Structure 1
Amino acid sequence: MPVLHVSAECAPFAKVGGLADVVGALPGALARLGVASGVVMPFYGGPHGRLAQKAGAIESVHTGVVFFEGEWFPFEVFQSDALSSDGAEVPLYLVHEPEHFGDDGVYFRASDNTWFARGEVRYLVFQLMVLDWLRSENTPLDGDGLLHLHDHHAGLIPALLHTDPANSVLADLPTVLTVHSADHHGEIPWARWNSLGLDLPNWESLDHLGVVNSLKAGVETADRVTTVSPSYAIELTESPETSHGLDYAFQLAGDRLSGIVNGVDMDVWDPATDAFLPEHFSADDLGGKTALKQAVCASLGLDASRPLLTFVGRLTPEKGAEVLAPGIAQILHQTDAAVAILGSGYPEYEGALRDLAASAPEGRLSVTLAFDEALAHRLYGAGDVFLMPSKQEPCGLGQLYAMRYGTIPVVHAVGGLRDTVTAWDGAIGTGLRFDAYSADAFAEAVGRALALDADARAALQQNGMRADHSWAASAADYVTLYRELGLSTATKGSGV
Structure 2
Amino acid sequence: MPVLHVSAECAPFAKVGGLADVVGALPRALAQSGVPSAVAMPFYGGPEGRMAGRVGATESVHTGQVFFEGEGFPFEVFRSGALSGDGAEVPLYLVHEPEHFGDDGVYFRASDNAWFARGEVRYLVFQLMVLDWLRSENTPLDGADLLHLHDHHTGLIPTLLEADSANSVLRDVPTVFTVHSADHHGEMGWSRWDAVGVEAPNWESLDHLGRVNSLKAGVERADRVTTVSPTYARELAAGPEPSHGLDYAFRLAGDRLSGIVNGVDTAVWDPATDPHLPEPFSADDLDGKTATKRAVCADLGLDANRPLLTFVGRLTPEKGATVLADGLVRILDETEAAVAVLGSGYAEHEGALRAVADGAPDGRFSLTLAFDEALAHRLYSAGDVFLMPSKQEPCGLGQLYAMRYGAVPVVHAVGGLRDTVVPWDGEAGTGVRFEAFTGQAFADAVREVLALDAGALARLRQNGMWADHSWASSATAYASLYEGLGVLGT
- The answer (yes or no) to whether the contact 1:78–1:94 under 8 Å persists in 2 is yes
Partner deviation per Cα, 1:446-496 (whole Å, 9 max, x = no partner) = 011100111110111110000100000000000000000011234xxxxxx
TM-score, structure 1 as length reference: 0.98
Inter-partner Cα distance in structure 2 for 1:290 and 1:439 = 29
- The answer (yes or no) to whether the contact 1:2–1:487 under 8 Å persists in 2 is no
Partner of 2:320: 320
TM-score, structure 2 as length reference: 0.99
- The answer (yes or no) to whether the contact 1:148–1:176 under 8 Å persists in 2 is yes
Inter-partner Cα distance in structure 2 for 1:146 and 1:307 = 49
Partner deviation per Cα, 1:200-231 (whole Å, 9 max, x = no partner) = 23100000000000000000000000000000
Inter-partner Cα distance in structure 2 for 1:420 and 1:181 = 17
Partner deviation per Cα, 1:114-161 (whole Å, 9 max, x = no partner) = 010010000000000000000000000110110000000000000000
Inter-partner Cα distance in structure 1 for 2:273 and 2:198 = 54
Partner of 2:340: 340
Which structure 2 residues correspond to residues 207-218 of structure 1 after superposition, within 5 A?
A: 207-218=207-218
Partner of 2:419: 419
Deviation at 1:288, TM superposition (A): 1.3
Inter-partner Cα distance in structure 1 for 2:303 and 2:269 = 26
Displacement over 6 Å in runs of 4+: none
Matched AA of 1:77: V
Inter-partner Cα distance in structure 2 for 1:456 and 1:245 = 43
Partner of 2:331: 331
- The answer (yes or no) to whether the contact 1:302–1:365 under 8 Å persists in 2 is yes
Partner of 2:149: 149
- The answer (yes or no) to whether the contact 2:260–2:474 under 8 Å persists in 1 is yes
- The answer (yes or no) to whether the contact 1:189–1:211 under 8 Å persists in 2 is yes
SS of equivalent residue, structure 1 residue 285? coil
Identity %: 78
Partner deviation per Cα, 1:338-361 (whole Å, 9 max, x = no partner) = 000000000110111111111211
Given the alignment of the two structures, is residue 475 of structure 1 paired with residue 484 of structure 2, yes or no?
no
Partner of 1:164: 164
Between the two proteins, the alignment pairs up a number of residues equal to 490
Given the alignment of the two structures, is residue 450 of structure 1 paired with residue 434 of structure 2, yes or no?
no
Given the alignment of the two structures, is residue 438 of structure 1 paired with residue 438 of structure 2, yes or no?
yes
Inter-partner Cα distance in structure 1 for 2:101 and 2:196 = 20
SS of equivalent residue, structure 2 residue 121? helix
Partner of 1:33: 33
Partner deviation per Cα, 1:52-95 (whole Å, 9 max, x = no partner) = 00010000000000010000000000000000001100000000
Which structure 2 residues correspond to residues 20-169 of structure 1 after superposition, within 5 A?
A: 20-169=20-169
Deviation at 1:408, TM superposition (A): 0.3
Partner of 1:380: 380
Inter-partner Cα distance in structure 1 for 2:355 and 2:475 = 44
Matched AA of 2:67: F
Which structure 2 residues correspond to residues 392-407 of structure 1 after superposition, within 5 A?
A: 392-407=392-407
Partner of 1:459: 459
Where do 5+ consecutive residues of structure 2 fail to align? none
Partner of 2:408: 408
Inter-partner Cα distance in structure 2 for 1:137 and 1:173 = 16
SS of equivalent residue, structure 1 residue 75? strand
Where do 5+ consecutive residues of structure 1 fail to align? 491-496
SS of equivalent residue, structure 1 residue 59? strand
Deviation at 1:279, TM superposition (A): 1.6
Partner of 1:390: 390
Deviation at 1:197, TM superposition (A): 1.8
Partner of 1:253: 253
With 311-320 and 193-202 compared, the bigger mean Cα shift is at 193-202
Matched AA of 2:176: V
- The answer (yes or no) to whether the contact 2:161–2:168 under 8 Å persists in 1 is yes
- The answer (yes or no) to whether the contact 1:66–1:132 under 8 Å persists in 2 is yes
Partner of 2:285: 285
Partner of 2:187: 187
Given the alignment of the two structures, is residue 177 of structure 1 paired with residue 177 of structure 2, yes or no?
yes
SS of equivalent residue, structure 1 residue 120? coil
Matched AA of 1:380: Y
SS of equivalent residue, structure 1 residue 276? coil
Which structure 2 residues correspond to residues 237-316 of structure 1 after superposition, within 5 A?
A: 237-316=237-316
Matched AA of 2:13: F
Inter-partner Cα distance in structure 2 for 1:326 and 1:489 = 49
- The answer (yes or no) to whether the contact 1:151–1:215 under 8 Å persists in 2 is yes
Matched AA of 1:296: V
Matched AA of 1:288: G
Matched AA of 2:476: A
Deviation at 1:426, TM superposition (A): 1.3
- The answer (yes or no) to whether the contact 1:237–1:247 under 8 Å persists in 2 is yes
Matched AA of 1:335: T
Partner deviation per Cα, 1:323-349 (whole Å, 9 max, x = no partner) = 001110000000010000000000110
Inter-partner Cα distance in structure 1 for 2:489 and 2:242 = 34
Partner of 2:224: 224
- The answer (yes or no) to whether the contact 1:308–1:384 under 8 Å persists in 2 is yes
With 265-274 and 215-224 compared, the bigger mean Cα shift is at 265-274
SS of equivalent residue, structure 2 residue 464? helix
Partner of 1:493: none
SS of equivalent residue, structure 1 residue 423? coil
Partner of 1:3: 3
Matched AA of 2:450: L
- The answer (yes or no) to whether the contact 2:480–2:489 under 8 Å persists in 1 is no
Deviation at 1:267, TM superposition (A): 2.3
Matched AA of 1:184: H
Matched AA of 2:218: G
- The answer (yes or no) to whether the contact 1:152–1:215 under 8 Å persists in 2 is yes
Deviation at 1:432, TM superposition (A): 0.3
Aligned residues: CA RMSD: 0.6
SS of equivalent residue, structure 2 residue 381? helix
Inter-partner Cα distance in structure 1 for 2:49 and 2:231 = 39
SS of equivalent residue, structure 2 residue 478? helix
Inter-partner Cα distance in structure 2 for 1:33 and 1:291 = 36
SS of equivalent residue, structure 1 residue 119? coil
Partner of 1:494: none
Inter-partner Cα distance in structure 1 for 2:323 and 2:89 = 44
- The answer (yes or no) to whether the contact 1:80–1:93 under 8 Å persists in 2 is yes
Inter-partner Cα distance in structure 2 for 1:43 and 1:135 = 20
Matched AA of 2:91: P
With 397-406 and 266-275 compared, the bigger mean Cα shift is at 266-275
